[in-house]
Structure 1
């Protein structure tokens, strides 16, 4: 009896054009974590920003592999850049992380834990979902809005506001006046400059006195969630 052939997946993220190496290493760590939750899978990684990383990894994948977009929407990079870079006979591209049906429940758990840790009541806590948005189209904003709509019933005692980095309503405007019992959850797949710099600067501009959490995609349960999505693909 022969062993079943390995299934192959490639996790793709945007990366950092100005300094591509650290995001490449971070994504490789994530791929190993995802693979640890699977049997019979080989999980690779590549960022779009690292020169030739995507093309090299795809060339090494056997036929039948899949691409997992580490993005929160099917916007410009997922719907335009990835297909163009992959070319003809490309692997199937799965739904991005932000569309995972289990993600809202994970976010609600993160938020409830944060509320409990601070000794607050849900009804007195405001939630700010800080998302990317885009000047190239409306897909990023629509994905964030849909996620907020799905998340709201799961945290029904708290009010959710939505703010964007690249379009209105901007994060600083959405954060203004929220009060000290507030939680900002970045609706981002990985911790890049937007989460390290742009969001904190916007919150400071708004005199935000609440708690800033890590990006949703950096939660410890994300590798298991991605593994489940690959197994179900």
Structure 2
């Protein structure tokens, strides 16, 4: 008798004003994870697309895994996601931003860009652009903790934090960094914050460095998520 496939649902916030593009991107991401876990059934859904989460969660077996593609364990992960999953017996894993391998992945990514540019690490700056929140401290704390983890792995690089919704704001953090600088958005998906808010703040600050896609778009990330799921079984 064949064993039933292991199951996981990858969940992200998405973009309420335009939910379809993030929904499609996340589905493609889930396909990449599934390619690394051929005996698994991998689904995906964003909170922003109406009924998507409920539809994708429907029919999952008891104990199926839910992987939150979020950088903090705030309101959406702690309250909204469990409420919308209802009484289904699913295992919600820690969010992406808390995965122990993520700082190593990011450090490798950043170091590769610096080396490609021919920059000496001691003369460079990294601007970690996070969300922050006027309603609670978990988003800012997540960014700060991640910056500290990066500093342990990249001790020669000047790491600066900038936030969208609270101090230190990206506009202030991005000023006077020169040309040997990189901005890495500490976000899972490329929504309005990464397409508009962060670029607008960088432009206003006169930022002259490299602008990377959000960390969730890193090429090595599907493998990280696949390992995270596999290690939970």
Q: Please name the residue that 1:11 is paired with.
A: 10
Deviation for aligned residue 1:90? 4.0
Deviation for aligned residue 1:88? 2.0
- Structure 2 gaps of 5+ residues are none
Q: How does 1:27-38 map to 2 (within 5 A)?
A: 27-38=26-37
- Is the CA contact 1:76–1:136 (under 8 Å) kept in the aligned structure 2? no
Answering whether residue 186 of structure 2 is matched by residue 182 of structure 1, we say no
Q: Please name the residue that 2:215 is paired with.
A: 216
Deviates more, 1:181-190 or 1:56-65: 56-65
Task: Give the distance between the partners of 2:24 and 2:59, measured in 1 at CA.
Answer: 18
Q: How does 1:69-148 map to 2 (within 5 A)?
A: 69-148=68-147
- Is the CA contact 2:26–2:45 (under 8 Å) kept in the aligned structure 1? yes
- Is the CA contact 1:68–1:93 (under 8 Å) kept in the aligned structure 2? yes
Q: Please name the residue that 2:154 is paired with.
A: 155
Moved over 6 A (4+): none
- Relative to the length of structure 1, the TM-score reads 0.97
RMSD: 1.0
Task: Give the distance between the partners of 2:185 and 2:18, measured in 1 at CA.
Answer: 22
- Relative to the length of structure 2, the TM-score reads 0.97
**Alignment deviations for residues 64-110 of structure 1 (CA, whole Å, 9 cap, x no partner):** 21110011111111011111111223411101111111111111111
- Structure 1 gaps of 5+ residues are none
Task: Give the distance between the partners of 2:127 and 2:62, measured in 1 at CA.
Answer: 42
Task: Give the distance between the partners of 1:90 and 1:205, measured in 2 at CA.
Answer: 47
